[in-house]
Structure 1
Amino acid sequence: MRLHTTTWGEGDRLALLVHGIMADHRTWRRVGPALAARGYRVVAVDLRGHGASGRAGSYGVQDFADDLVETLPAGAELAVGHSLGGLTLSRAVERLAPRRAVYSDPAWHLPGGRDGYRGALLAQAKAATREQITAMNPRWDAVDVDIELETLKVWDEATAYGLEAVADTDLLPAGAAVPSLVTLADPSRLVSAGHAALLTGRGFEVRTVAGAGHTIHRDDFGGFMAALDGWV
Protein backbone atom coordinates (compact mmCIF):
# COMPACT_ATOMS: atom_id res chain seq x y z
CA MET A 1 0.00 0.00 0.00
CA ARG A 2 1.20 3.49 -0.85
CA LEU A 3 1.05 5.55 2.32
CA HIS A 4 0.13 9.18 2.89
CA THR A 5 3.20 11.28 3.64
CA THR A 6 3.89 14.72 5.10
CA THR A 7 7.09 16.69 4.50
CA TRP A 8 8.98 19.36 6.40
CA GLY A 9 11.99 21.23 5.02
CA GLU A 10 13.92 21.19 1.78
CA GLY A 11 17.37 20.14 2.95
CA ASP A 12 19.83 18.00 1.03
CA ARG A 13 19.67 15.19 3.60
CA LEU A 14 16.60 12.96 3.93
CA ALA A 15 15.07 11.84 7.24
CA LEU A 16 12.18 9.39 7.56
CA LEU A 17 9.75 9.30 10.52
CA VAL A 18 7.48 6.35 11.37
CA HIS A 19 4.88 6.78 14.14
CA GLY A 20 3.46 4.30 16.62
CA ILE A 21 0.05 2.67 16.87
CA MET A 22 -2.97 4.99 17.22
CA ALA A 23 -0.90 8.00 16.07
CA ASP A 24 -0.03 9.46 12.66
CA HIS A 25 2.45 11.97 11.25
CA ARG A 26 1.13 14.64 13.63
CA THR A 27 2.89 12.99 16.55
CA TRP A 28 6.12 14.41 15.04
CA ARG A 29 4.87 18.02 15.09
CA ARG A 30 8.03 19.21 16.89
CA VAL A 31 10.54 16.62 15.70
CA GLY A 32 9.87 17.19 12.00
CA PRO A 33 10.51 20.96 12.07
CA ALA A 34 13.51 20.48 14.39
CA LEU A 35 15.17 18.10 11.94
CA ALA A 36 14.26 20.39 9.04
CA ALA A 37 16.06 23.22 10.87
CA ARG A 38 19.16 21.00 10.89
CA GLY A 39 19.14 20.70 7.13
CA TYR A 40 16.96 17.67 6.54
CA ARG A 41 14.04 17.11 4.23
CA VAL A 42 11.81 15.19 6.59
CA VAL A 43 9.18 12.73 5.36
CA ALA A 44 6.70 11.23 7.83
CA VAL A 45 4.27 8.48 6.90
CA ASP A 46 0.81 7.58 8.10
CA LEU A 47 0.85 3.80 8.52
CA ARG A 48 -2.01 1.77 7.05
CA GLY A 49 -5.11 2.21 9.18
CA HIS A 50 -3.82 5.52 10.53
CA GLY A 51 -4.22 9.16 9.57
CA ALA A 52 -4.89 9.77 5.90
CA SER A 53 -3.60 6.39 4.70
CA GLY A 54 -5.96 3.68 3.56
CA ARG A 55 -7.63 0.98 5.62
CA ALA A 56 -6.84 -2.65 4.93
CA GLY A 57 -8.02 -6.19 5.55
CA SER A 58 -4.69 -7.17 7.09
CA TYR A 59 -2.59 -5.42 9.71
CA GLY A 60 0.35 -7.76 10.17
CA VAL A 61 3.84 -6.54 10.98
CA GLN A 62 5.04 -7.57 7.52
CA ASP A 63 2.22 -5.55 5.92
CA PHE A 64 3.37 -2.41 7.73
CA ALA A 65 6.99 -3.02 6.73
CA ASP A 66 6.18 -3.70 3.08
CA ASP A 67 4.21 -0.44 2.94
CA LEU A 68 7.26 1.51 4.09
CA VAL A 69 9.38 -0.02 1.36
CA GLU A 70 6.72 0.68 -1.27
CA THR A 71 6.31 4.31 -0.17
CA LEU A 72 9.70 5.60 0.96
CA PRO A 73 12.96 6.02 -0.94
CA ALA A 74 15.94 3.90 -0.03
CA GLY A 75 19.22 5.40 1.13
CA ALA A 76 17.93 8.13 3.47
CA GLU A 77 20.43 9.72 5.82
CA LEU A 78 18.27 8.94 8.86
CA ALA A 79 15.21 6.85 9.73
CA VAL A 80 13.36 7.10 13.05
CA GLY A 81 10.60 4.77 14.24
CA HIS A 82 8.59 4.93 17.47
CA SER A 83 6.93 1.92 19.12
CA LEU A 84 5.09 0.04 16.34
CA GLY A 85 6.98 2.32 13.98
CA GLY A 86 10.24 1.07 15.47
CA LEU A 87 9.20 -2.55 15.01
CA THR A 88 8.07 -1.77 11.46
CA LEU A 89 11.29 0.05 10.62
CA SER A 90 13.36 -2.86 11.92
CA ARG A 91 11.53 -5.19 9.51
CA ALA A 92 12.15 -2.84 6.57
CA VAL A 93 15.57 -1.41 7.41
CA GLU A 94 17.63 -3.73 5.22
CA ARG A 95 15.52 -2.83 2.19
CA LEU A 96 15.33 0.90 2.99
CA ALA A 97 19.06 0.98 3.81
CA PRO A 98 19.22 4.30 5.67
CA ARG A 99 22.67 5.41 6.77
CA ARG A 100 21.49 5.51 10.40
CA ALA A 101 18.41 4.23 12.22
CA VAL A 102 16.86 5.33 15.51
CA TYR A 103 14.38 3.09 17.31
CA SER A 104 12.41 5.00 19.97
CA ASP A 105 11.03 2.67 22.65
CA PRO A 106 10.37 0.08 19.92
CA ALA A 107 7.68 -2.58 20.28
CA TRP A 108 10.12 -5.48 20.24
CA HIS A 109 8.36 -7.38 23.00
CA LEU A 110 4.63 -7.32 23.69
CA PRO A 111 4.05 -9.32 26.89
CA GLY A 112 1.66 -12.21 26.38
CA GLY A 113 -0.19 -14.40 28.84
CA ARG A 114 -3.45 -13.78 30.63
CA ASP A 115 -2.53 -10.22 31.63
CA GLY A 116 -0.48 -9.43 28.53
CA TYR A 117 -1.24 -7.79 25.21
CA ARG A 118 -4.86 -7.89 24.07
CA GLY A 119 -6.05 -6.22 20.91
CA ALA A 120 -9.49 -5.64 22.38
CA LEU A 121 -8.06 -3.69 25.31
CA LEU A 122 -5.96 -1.47 23.07
CA ALA A 123 -8.88 -0.96 20.69
CA GLN A 124 -10.84 0.58 23.56
CA ALA A 125 -8.47 3.56 23.41
CA LYS A 126 -10.47 4.68 20.38
CA ALA A 127 -13.03 6.10 22.81
CA ALA A 128 -10.55 7.75 25.18
CA THR A 129 -11.60 11.14 26.53
CA ARG A 130 -9.50 14.26 26.92
CA GLU A 131 -9.38 13.65 30.65
CA GLN A 132 -8.18 10.07 30.22
CA ILE A 133 -5.47 11.03 27.74
CA THR A 134 -4.26 13.80 30.00
CA ALA A 135 -4.20 11.49 33.02
CA MET A 136 -2.18 8.88 31.13
CA ASN A 137 0.22 11.47 29.72
CA PRO A 138 0.60 14.20 32.35
CA ARG A 139 3.71 15.66 30.71
CA TRP A 140 2.12 16.26 27.32
CA ASP A 141 1.40 19.76 26.05
CA ALA A 142 -2.29 20.54 25.58
CA VAL A 143 -1.79 20.62 21.82
CA ASP A 144 -0.58 17.00 21.91
CA VAL A 145 -3.74 15.97 23.74
CA ASP A 146 -5.76 17.74 21.03
CA ILE A 147 -3.81 15.91 18.35
CA GLU A 148 -4.29 12.56 20.08
CA LEU A 149 -8.05 13.07 20.10
CA GLU A 150 -8.00 13.88 16.39
CA THR A 151 -5.79 10.95 15.46
CA LEU A 152 -7.96 8.53 17.42
CA LYS A 153 -10.96 9.62 15.37
CA VAL A 154 -9.31 8.47 12.13
CA TRP A 155 -7.49 5.43 13.55
CA ASP A 156 -8.75 2.00 12.51
CA GLU A 157 -8.77 0.15 15.80
CA ALA A 158 -8.58 -3.15 13.89
CA THR A 159 -4.83 -2.49 13.74
CA ALA A 160 -4.70 -3.39 17.43
CA TYR A 161 -5.75 -6.96 16.67
CA GLY A 162 -3.05 -7.42 14.05
CA LEU A 163 -0.37 -7.35 16.74
CA GLU A 164 -1.85 -10.26 18.71
CA ALA A 165 0.02 -12.65 16.41
CA VAL A 166 3.36 -11.41 17.72
CA ALA A 167 2.47 -11.06 21.41
CA ASP A 168 4.98 -12.77 23.71
CA THR A 169 7.35 -13.26 20.77
CA ASP A 170 11.02 -12.26 20.72
CA LEU A 171 11.06 -9.54 18.07
CA LEU A 172 14.50 -8.13 18.86
CA PRO A 173 16.65 -7.79 15.74
CA ALA A 174 19.49 -10.30 15.50
CA GLY A 175 21.85 -7.44 14.76
CA ALA A 176 22.08 -3.83 13.67
CA ALA A 177 21.70 -3.85 9.89
CA VAL A 178 22.88 -0.22 9.82
CA PRO A 179 24.38 1.96 12.58
CA SER A 180 21.51 2.05 15.06
CA LEU A 181 20.47 3.88 18.22
CA VAL A 182 17.75 2.71 20.61
CA THR A 183 16.21 5.36 22.87
CA LEU A 184 14.23 4.04 25.80
CA ALA A 185 11.60 5.33 28.19
CA ASP A 186 12.39 5.28 31.90
CA PRO A 187 11.44 2.56 32.53
CA SER A 188 10.57 0.93 29.22
CA ARG A 189 7.71 -1.56 29.26
CA LEU A 190 8.71 -2.89 25.83
CA VAL A 191 12.50 -3.25 26.13
CA SER A 192 13.63 -4.69 29.45
CA ALA A 193 17.06 -4.16 30.98
CA GLY A 194 17.96 -7.67 29.88
CA HIS A 195 16.85 -6.98 26.33
CA ALA A 196 18.78 -3.69 26.35
CA ALA A 197 21.92 -5.59 27.27
CA LEU A 198 21.27 -8.05 24.44
CA LEU A 199 20.85 -5.19 22.01
CA THR A 200 24.12 -3.63 23.11
CA GLY A 201 25.83 -6.95 22.47
CA ARG A 202 24.25 -7.07 19.02
CA GLY A 203 25.73 -3.73 17.97
CA PHE A 204 23.03 -1.24 18.99
CA GLU A 205 23.76 1.85 21.04
CA VAL A 206 21.17 2.13 23.80
CA ARG A 207 20.30 5.37 25.61
CA THR A 208 17.59 5.98 28.22
CA VAL A 209 15.78 9.31 28.54
CA ALA A 210 15.44 9.78 32.29
CA GLY A 211 11.86 10.14 33.50
CA ALA A 212 10.29 9.89 30.04
CA GLY A 213 7.25 7.80 29.25
CA HIS A 214 6.72 5.60 26.22
CA THR A 215 6.15 8.46 23.75
CA ILE A 216 9.48 10.09 24.56
CA HIS A 217 9.29 12.83 21.95
CA ARG A 218 6.02 14.10 23.43
CA ASP A 219 6.86 13.53 27.09
CA ASP A 220 10.24 15.26 26.92
CA PHE A 221 11.01 16.78 23.54
CA GLY A 222 14.26 18.32 24.77
CA GLY A 223 15.38 15.04 26.29
CA PHE A 224 14.47 13.17 23.10
CA MET A 225 16.50 15.50 20.90
CA ALA A 226 19.41 15.43 23.35
CA ALA A 227 19.39 11.63 23.18
CA LEU A 228 19.90 11.92 19.40
CA ASP A 229 23.17 13.82 19.86
CA GLY A 230 25.69 12.49 17.39
CA TRP A 231 23.01 10.71 15.36
CA VAL A 232 21.34 13.66 13.65
Structure 2
Amino acid sequence: MLIHGLTGDSGTWFELAPWIAEHGYTVTLVDQRGHGRSERSERYAPEDLAGDLVETLPRGLDLAIGHSLGGRSLMLAADRLSPKRAVYLEPGWVIPDGLRITPPLRPDGSWMSVEELAVLLPGFSHDHLEQALRAVSSFDLTFLEAPTFPLATLLPPDEPAVPSLVVVADPSEVVPPQLQDRLQCAGYTVRVVPDGTHELHILHLEATKRALADWL
Protein backbone atom coordinates (compact mmCIF):
# COMPACT_ATOMS: atom_id res chain seq x y z
CA MET A 1 0.00 0.00 0.00
CA LEU A 2 1.36 3.41 -1.01
CA ILE A 3 -0.21 6.56 0.45
CA HIS A 4 0.56 9.97 -1.10
CA GLY A 5 1.04 13.38 0.47
CA LEU A 6 -1.06 16.55 0.60
CA THR A 7 -2.34 17.81 -2.80
CA GLY A 8 -0.96 14.66 -4.47
CA ASP A 9 -2.65 11.46 -5.52
CA SER A 10 -1.85 7.84 -6.29
CA GLY A 11 -0.08 8.82 -9.51
CA THR A 12 2.83 10.31 -7.58
CA TRP A 13 4.25 6.79 -7.23
CA PHE A 14 4.61 6.12 -10.96
CA GLU A 15 8.37 5.55 -10.62
CA LEU A 16 8.59 3.88 -7.20
CA ALA A 17 5.58 1.55 -7.51
CA PRO A 18 6.91 -0.49 -10.48
CA TRP A 19 10.22 -0.96 -8.68
CA ILE A 20 8.41 -2.32 -5.61
CA ALA A 21 6.30 -4.59 -7.84
CA GLU A 22 9.52 -6.00 -9.30
CA HIS A 23 10.22 -7.41 -5.82
CA GLY A 24 7.12 -9.60 -6.08
CA TYR A 25 4.53 -7.34 -4.48
CA THR A 26 1.02 -6.56 -5.64
CA VAL A 27 0.93 -2.79 -5.15
CA THR A 28 -2.20 -0.96 -4.01
CA LEU A 29 -2.24 2.81 -4.61
CA VAL A 30 -4.47 4.98 -2.42
CA ASP A 31 -6.20 8.27 -3.23
CA GLN A 32 -6.82 9.83 0.16
CA ARG A 33 -10.10 11.57 0.92
CA GLY A 34 -10.35 14.81 -1.07
CA HIS A 35 -7.58 13.75 -3.47
CA GLY A 36 -7.55 12.15 -6.91
CA ARG A 37 -10.64 10.07 -7.62
CA SER A 38 -11.71 9.74 -3.98
CA GLU A 39 -14.82 11.48 -2.75
CA ARG A 40 -14.90 15.07 -1.52
CA SER A 41 -15.94 15.52 2.10
CA GLU A 42 -16.94 18.11 4.68
CA ARG A 43 -14.40 16.58 7.09
CA TYR A 44 -10.66 16.13 6.62
CA ALA A 45 -9.51 15.49 10.16
CA PRO A 46 -6.46 13.19 10.49
CA GLU A 47 -8.57 10.44 12.05
CA ASP A 48 -10.99 10.60 9.11
CA LEU A 49 -8.19 9.91 6.64
CA ALA A 50 -6.84 7.10 8.82
CA GLY A 51 -10.32 5.66 9.21
CA ASP A 52 -10.72 5.51 5.44
CA LEU A 53 -7.61 3.31 5.23
CA VAL A 54 -8.92 0.99 7.95
CA GLU A 55 -12.34 0.70 6.32
CA THR A 56 -11.16 0.03 2.77
CA LEU A 57 -7.93 -1.97 3.08
CA PRO A 58 -7.28 -5.47 4.42
CA ARG A 59 -5.43 -6.08 7.66
CA GLY A 60 -2.00 -7.64 7.62
CA LEU A 61 -0.60 -6.22 4.38
CA ASP A 62 3.06 -7.08 3.85
CA LEU A 63 4.14 -3.46 3.56
CA ALA A 64 2.58 0.00 3.92
CA ILE A 65 4.38 3.18 2.84
CA GLY A 66 3.18 6.72 3.53
CA HIS A 67 4.74 9.99 2.39
CA SER A 68 4.14 13.31 4.18
CA LEU A 69 0.36 13.52 4.83
CA GLY A 70 0.23 9.82 3.99
CA GLY A 71 2.68 9.19 6.82
CA ARG A 72 0.30 10.89 9.25
CA SER A 73 -2.63 8.79 8.05
CA LEU A 74 -0.61 5.57 8.17
CA MET A 75 0.68 6.29 11.67
CA LEU A 76 -2.87 6.70 12.99
CA ALA A 77 -4.07 3.54 11.22
CA ALA A 78 -1.07 1.24 11.77
CA ASP A 79 -2.30 -0.42 14.96
CA ARG A 80 -5.62 -1.33 13.29
CA LEU A 81 -4.29 -2.21 9.84
CA SER A 82 -1.40 -4.22 11.33
CA PRO A 83 0.84 -4.31 8.27
CA LYS A 84 3.87 -6.54 8.69
CA ARG A 85 6.07 -3.47 8.14
CA ALA A 86 5.43 0.26 7.87
CA VAL A 87 7.62 2.79 6.09
CA TYR A 88 7.30 6.52 6.66
CA LEU A 89 8.86 8.76 4.00
CA GLU A 90 9.30 12.26 5.43
CA PRO A 91 6.07 11.81 7.40
CA GLY A 92 4.29 15.07 8.22
CA TRP A 93 4.53 14.70 11.98
CA VAL A 94 6.09 18.01 13.07
CA ILE A 95 4.54 20.90 11.16
CA PRO A 96 6.98 23.76 10.44
CA ASP A 97 5.96 27.17 11.71
CA GLY A 98 4.19 29.21 9.07
CA LEU A 99 3.62 26.32 6.68
CA ARG A 100 1.66 27.50 3.66
CA ILE A 101 0.33 25.48 0.75
CA THR A 102 -0.40 27.69 -2.25
CA PRO A 103 -2.16 26.07 -5.21
CA PRO A 104 -0.43 26.81 -8.54
CA LEU A 105 -3.06 29.24 -9.78
CA ARG A 106 -2.64 32.30 -11.98
CA PRO A 107 -4.08 35.64 -10.77
CA ASP A 108 -7.19 34.98 -12.87
CA GLY A 109 -7.81 31.70 -11.04
CA SER A 110 -6.76 29.39 -13.88
CA TRP A 111 -4.21 26.64 -13.37
CA MET A 112 -0.58 27.29 -14.24
CA SER A 113 1.04 25.48 -17.14
CA VAL A 114 3.70 22.82 -16.66
CA GLU A 115 6.31 25.41 -17.63
CA GLU A 116 5.07 27.86 -15.01
CA LEU A 117 4.92 25.13 -12.36
CA ALA A 118 8.54 24.19 -13.13
CA VAL A 119 9.61 27.54 -11.63
CA LEU A 120 7.91 26.62 -8.34
CA LEU A 121 9.16 23.02 -8.31
CA PRO A 122 12.78 23.09 -9.44
CA GLY A 123 14.27 19.68 -10.02
CA PHE A 124 10.98 17.99 -10.91
CA SER A 125 11.05 16.15 -14.22
CA HIS A 126 8.52 17.08 -16.90
CA ASP A 127 6.62 13.86 -16.16
CA HIS A 128 6.46 14.64 -12.45
CA LEU A 129 5.37 18.21 -13.16
CA GLU A 130 2.53 16.93 -15.34
CA GLN A 131 1.56 14.47 -12.63
CA ALA A 132 1.67 17.12 -9.88
CA LEU A 133 -0.53 19.43 -11.94
CA ARG A 134 -3.06 16.67 -12.63
CA ALA A 135 -3.15 15.80 -8.95
CA VAL A 136 -3.56 19.31 -7.57
CA SER A 137 -6.23 20.17 -10.14
CA SER A 138 -8.38 17.31 -8.80
CA PHE A 139 -7.61 18.15 -5.14
CA ASP A 140 -10.41 19.57 -2.96
CA LEU A 141 -9.06 23.02 -2.12
CA THR A 142 -11.39 23.27 0.88
CA PHE A 143 -8.92 20.89 2.57
CA LEU A 144 -6.70 23.97 2.97
CA GLU A 145 -9.33 25.83 4.97
CA ALA A 146 -10.10 25.79 8.71
CA PRO A 147 -10.59 23.66 10.70
CA THR A 148 -8.45 21.18 8.75
CA PHE A 149 -5.64 23.58 7.88
CA PRO A 150 -3.15 24.62 9.06
CA LEU A 151 -2.13 21.13 10.07
CA ALA A 152 -1.17 20.47 13.68
CA THR A 153 1.87 18.55 14.85
CA LEU A 154 1.00 14.89 15.35
CA LEU A 155 3.73 12.92 17.08
CA PRO A 156 4.09 9.15 16.68
CA PRO A 157 3.57 6.80 19.63
CA ASP A 158 6.46 6.06 21.95
CA GLU A 159 6.66 2.54 20.55
CA PRO A 160 5.88 1.57 16.95
CA ALA A 161 2.69 -0.44 16.47
CA VAL A 162 4.52 -2.57 13.86
CA PRO A 163 8.16 -2.72 12.70
CA SER A 164 8.66 0.77 11.31
CA LEU A 165 11.24 2.46 9.09
CA VAL A 166 11.39 6.25 9.00
CA VAL A 167 13.26 7.74 6.02
CA VAL A 168 13.99 11.43 6.33
CA ALA A 169 15.52 14.32 4.42
CA ASP A 170 18.79 15.99 5.36
CA PRO A 171 17.88 18.06 7.27
CA SER A 172 14.26 17.22 7.97
CA GLU A 173 11.77 19.78 9.24
CA VAL A 174 9.01 17.24 9.79
CA VAL A 175 11.17 14.72 11.70
CA PRO A 176 13.86 16.93 13.28
CA PRO A 177 17.01 15.43 14.79
CA GLN A 178 15.75 15.34 18.38
CA LEU A 179 12.67 13.39 17.26
CA GLN A 180 14.85 11.07 15.18
CA ASP A 181 16.89 10.29 18.31
CA ARG A 182 13.75 9.57 20.33
CA LEU A 183 12.36 7.32 17.62
CA GLN A 184 15.55 5.28 17.38
CA CYS A 185 15.62 4.79 21.15
CA ALA A 186 11.97 3.66 21.00
CA GLY A 187 12.59 0.95 18.40
CA TYR A 188 11.99 2.70 15.10
CA THR A 189 14.61 2.38 12.37
CA VAL A 190 15.60 5.84 11.13
CA ARG A 191 17.55 6.46 7.92
CA VAL A 192 18.67 9.83 6.58
CA VAL A 193 18.97 10.46 2.83
CA PRO A 194 22.10 12.65 2.47
CA ASP A 195 21.23 16.02 0.92
CA GLY A 196 17.65 14.78 0.60
CA THR A 197 14.60 17.03 0.51
CA HIS A 198 10.97 16.45 1.43
CA GLU A 199 9.96 14.91 -1.92
CA LEU A 200 12.22 11.91 -1.47
CA HIS A 201 10.54 9.56 -3.95
CA ILE A 202 10.53 12.25 -6.64
CA LEU A 203 13.81 14.16 -6.30
CA HIS A 204 15.93 11.43 -4.67
CA LEU A 205 14.52 8.24 -6.16
CA GLU A 206 17.69 6.13 -6.24
CA ALA A 207 18.69 7.10 -2.69
CA THR A 208 15.17 6.31 -1.51
CA LYS A 209 15.34 2.90 -3.17
CA ARG A 210 18.61 2.18 -1.34
CA ALA A 211 17.02 3.19 1.95
CA LEU A 212 14.07 0.84 1.34
CA ALA A 213 15.82 -2.10 -0.31
CA ASP A 214 16.33 -4.36 2.70
CA TRP A 215 12.76 -3.72 3.91
CA LEU A 216 11.23 -5.17 0.75
SS at match of 1:194: helix
- Alignment check: 8 A CA contact 1:126 1:157 kept: no
Give the fraction of aligned pairs with identical amino acids, expressed as a percent: 38
Over the aligned positions, Cα root-mean-square deviation in angstroms equals 1.6
Which residues in structure 2 correspond to 1:6-155 (within 5 Å)?
A: 16-112=1-97, 116-117=98-99, 121-122=100-101, 124-127=102-105, 129=112, 130-131=114-115, 133-155=117-139
CA separation in 2, counterparts of 1:136 and 1:194? Answer: 30
Cross-structure match for 1:213: 197
Write the distance in 1 (CA, Å) between the matches of 2:182 and 2:117: 33
1:189 aligns with 173
Q: Deviations over 1:143-185 (max 9, x none)?
A: 0001111111100122223543752x35232211111000001
The alignment status of 1:225 with 2:209, answered yes or no, reads: yes
State the AA in 2 paired with 1:171. L
* Aligned-partner residue type, residue 46 of structure 1: D
CA change 1:150–1:166 in 2 (3 A) is closer
TM-score norm. by structure 1 comes to: 0.85
Secondary structure at 1:103 match in 2: strand
For structure 1, which segment, 170-179 or 203-212, has the greater mean C-alpha deviation from structure 2 after superposition? 170-179
Give the secondary-structure state (helix, strand or coil) at the position aligned to 2:26. Answer: strand
Q: How many residues align?
A: 209
1:137–1:186 Cα change, 3 Å: farther
Higher strand share: 1
| CA deviation profile, 1:2-47 (whole Å, cap 9, x unmatched) | xxxxxxxxxxxxxx10000000000000111111111000001100
Contact kept, 8 Å, 1:126 with 1:155, in 2: the verdict is: no
- Return 5+ residue gaps in structure 2 as ranges: 106-110
SS at match of 1:102: strand
Q: 1:79 to 1:158 in 2, by over 3 A?
A: same
Please give the secondary structure, in 2, of the residue aligned with 1:210.
coil
CA distance, structure 2, for counterparts of residue 230 and residue 176 of structure 1? 19
Does the CA contact (< 8 Å) of 1:109 and 1:172 recur in 2? Answer: no
Residue pair 2:143, 2:149 contacting (<8 A) in 1 also: no
Task: Provide the secondary structure at the position in 2 that maps to 1:40.
Answer: coil
Deviation at residue 220 of structure 1 after TM alignment: 1.3
3-state SS in 2 of match to 1:152: helix
List runs of 5+ in structure 1 lacking aligned partners: 1-15
Does the 8 Å contact 1:183/1:207 carry over to 2? yes
Are residues 180 and 148 of structure 1, via their aligned partners in 2, closer, same or farther at CA, if it must alter by over 3 Å?
same
Contact 1:59 1:163 in 2 (8 A): yes
